[in-house]
Structure 1
Amino acid sequence: MGSHVMLNVRNKYAADREKALANGIKEVVAELRLVDVVDYVAFLRMDQFGNIADIVESSAQLYLAPGSLRFAGGGDVHLNWGSAPTIDLDMEFHGGEVTVHFKLSLTATKAAVHINYIAFSDPDADPAANTERLKTAIAAARLATARNA
């Protein structure tokens, strides 16, 4: 019973953390969506992960501190007849004492962040405090040009 309660507490904060990360990288996501979805499909299907890493790095350099956001070397393509393709990119965010592994889902019209794993060095017992630490790390990683946007 206790683990069930813990799971609910964890889920309560997951949405806030995903929203904070999505807002923190929104300009980068807009840049990533300028690349044709067909290119992502080709890169993923042909294991040309270096091309995606280059796109992510060049998209992030105007908005985030170097090394704070990177492609994690994997992803998925979801192609179905009659629906828009979805590209899932494995990503990592590193900010200070916080590391986040997440999936960035891109379609022609929307993007979503799904956190798979988050690590805090010396995590606080209070999940809300850890969420604030994540928000602080994201804000610190954003360059002044992005903060003013």
Structure 2
Amino acid sequence: MILKKCQFSEEREQIVAEAIRPVATELRLIDAADFIALLRFESYASIADLVESAAELYFLPGTVNFGLGGNYNLDWDSRPEVILDLELKPRGVTVYARLVLAGDTAGIEISHINFQQPSGDPDENTAFLAKSLAESKFVKTYPLPLAS
């Protein structure tokens, strides 16, 4: 099931992308050829271990998981691109997304979001997603007081 794009999709993708940025950075340290080989030979347990290892540095256990799927783009005239299905499970919400790792960049595309107790107000759901992801991180960020 693909998430129908709406006015809230982009904001939610930005929230998720910012939250998993350090995980994507860790995963980009792995050679693209290794990811491609693991995907080609359907070594999904190995990919799941790599994702779990990258995520455990930044998130509570079980928050970021490999979704048992992925793909790659590898042509003679372009740089490799690795696509990994991820499941993010912070408290109260599950996000199904595709993480794209390419060259010097990474991107995220949300396929589906399931709120356990959705609000009728999409802005409240978006705020809940941001709060839930922030609470599932090991390193909390707090606004710093301004010097006077």
TM-score of the aligned structures, taking structure 2 as reference length: 0.90
Q: Kindly report structure 1 stretches of 4+ aligned residues shifted beyond 3 Å.
A: none
Separation in structure 1 between the aligned mates of residue 44 and residue 129 of structure 2, nearest angstrom: 27
1:88 is the counterpart of 2:83: yes
RMSD of aligned alpha carbons: 1.3
Whole-angstrom CA distance in 1 between matches of 2:34 and 2:103: 13
Equivalence for 1:31: 26
The answer to which structure has the higher helix fraction is 1
> Among the aligned pairs, what percent are the same residue?
37
In structure 2, the residue corresponding to 1:50 is in which secondary structure?
A: helix
Deviation per CA, 1:66-117, whole angstroms, max 9, x where unpaired? 0000001100111122111111100000011100000000012110010000
Count the aligned residue pairs: 139
Please list every run of 5 or more consecutive structure 2 residues that lacks an aligned counterpart in the other structure.
143-148
| 1:17-28 → structure 2 map (5 Å cutoff) | 17-28=12-23
Aligned-partner residue type, residue 37 of structure 1? A
Q: Does 1:105 align with 2:100?
A: yes
Find the aligned partners of 1:84 and 1:102 in 2 and give their Cα distance: 22
Alpha-carbon contact 1:94-1:100 (below 8 Å) kept: yes
Contact kept? 1:18, 1:113, Cα under 8 Å: yes
Report the TM-score when normalising by structure 1: 0.89
Indicate yes or no: 2:136 matched with 1:141.
Answer: yes
